[in-house]
Structure 1
């Protein structure tokens, strides 16, 4: 029986509390983002991110094995899904504005994208 080495990880939030003199909260937020001094940082172990797969291989021998997207971090699944759904929405709205029917192939792609988006939100596998 083959052995597989699976690399998993989670993101650990690190935070700091800093006080800034500023005319508005927006300016203070900009100061905080630009501040590179993290010497007073603290880790928030209770708010760590989900465990997700970052790699797979045959016990570090040979080539990496492809890993299904649904084992990845949810936020990394959402980013390309947003781009896909925005593109489909632009096509469908463009067709509606031009008063032309959307080709059936595009509606099928939109239905698949909706199903995939729902799977991501439910932390489930992508539709086949």
Structure 2
């Protein structure tokens, strides 16, 4: 019977509590994200992530030796699977919006909402901030 070396992992939640003086919650969040002092960190083993497969190799004790075998998608990390699905759905939405713009007027308000959803989706994929929504404070 064949043997396989399987690498599995999970993400351990590491957190910290820190206080920041700022004019707005957004500025305080930005300060917290940019703060690289993790000397007071704590681990939360109760909230660790799911176990998922990150590598497969044929043979015993074969990790990182030879060619890795592709991991079947359903054994991957759920957040990565969601991100891939999100990217696919965003692409489909962009096609639908382009089609709607070219052929017929969309229902009232729908096109604007879809265009904002596309802009937000692209920002998420690029690791950028969300675009400003109509009615947001400047």
Question: Superposition RMSD on alpha carbons, in Å?
Answer: 1.5
Aligned equivalents of 2:23 and 2:99: distance in 1? 47
Which TM-score applies when normalising by structure 1? Answer: 0.72
Whether 1:36 aligns to 2:40 is: no
Query: What SS class does the counterpart of residue 29 from structure 1 fall into?
Result: helix
Q: Which residue number in structure 2 is paired with residue 120 of structure 1? A: none
Residue number among 76, 80, 84 corresponding to 2:84 in the alignment: 80
Q: Which residue number in structure 1 is paired with residue 9 of structure 2? A: 9
Alpha-carbon offset, residue 93 of structure 1: 2.6
Alpha-carbon offset, residue 99 of structure 1: 2.4
Which TM-score applies when normalising by structure 2? Answer: 0.67
C-alpha spacing 1:10/1:99, structure 2 compared with 1 (3 Å)? same
**Deviation digits for residues 64-88 of structure 1 (CA, Å, limit 9, x no counterpart):** 1111111100111111211111111
**Structure 2 unmatched runs, 5+:** 105-138
Aligned equivalents of 1:21 and 1:89: distance in 2? 41
Residue number among 70, 95, 98 corresponding to 2:99 in the alignment: 95
Q: Which residue number in structure 2 is paired with residue 68 of structure 1? A: 72
Query: What SS class does the counterpart of residue 14 from structure 1 fall into?
Result: strand
Alpha-carbon offset, residue 24 of structure 1: 1.8
Query: What SS class does the counterpart of residue 54 from structure 2 fall into?
Result: strand
Q: Which residue number in structure 1 is paired with residue 25 of structure 2? A: 25
Poorly superposed stretches of 4+, deviation over 6 Å: none
**Structure 1 unmatched runs, 5+:** 101-128
Aligned equivalents of 2:21 and 2:93: distance in 1? 44
